[in-house]
Amino acid sequence: MRKTLWRVALCTILPIIGPAHAQVGGPSNDTFKAQDLYVACNLPADPNSTDDAAGLICQTYIRGLTDGLFLMKVFSDAGKAGCLPPDGAISVAEGRAEFEAFFLKHSEMATNSAGVVAALAIVQAHPC
């Protein structure tokens, strides 16, 4: 039963990630590599420090990814995914600027989910 579920999951996911396969299978010009995330997620916490920077990097990155995947489904189901570049992600600097500009106009969203607000800001900055 478990093998069947994994096969179904892979058959569902693989067509979706097909366009990203070239990025997955080859080198990247992104400066934050998978090995960096793995290290951040597996460094032992420093017992003498109240600031676990590596743990926060891991937690924040994975939270952003899971928020993004959730929002991808929500936007896709609603037919409002925006028109982001098809050949790769926008830069962190561009996403940050889009979020900050949106947030300044919509401060009423200050207590909403950071991932939801940031995604909404980026999608609205790239209308079709």
What are the tens digits of pLDDT across the range 47-88? 666 567 878 888 888 888 888 888 888 877 877 766 777 777
Return the SS3 of 47.
Answer: coil
pLDDT at residue 108 above 90? yes
pTM value > 0.75: no
Tell me if 101 sits within 8 A of 124, measured CB to CB: no
Hey, how many other C-beta atoms are within 10 angstroms of the C-beta on 88?
A: 13
Residue 119 — pLDDT band, cuts 50, 70, 90? confident
**Torsion sign across C-alpha atoms 51, 55, 58, 61:** negative
**Amino acid found at 80:** K
Which range has the worst mean pLDDT, 12-26, 37-51, 58-72, 109-123? 12-26
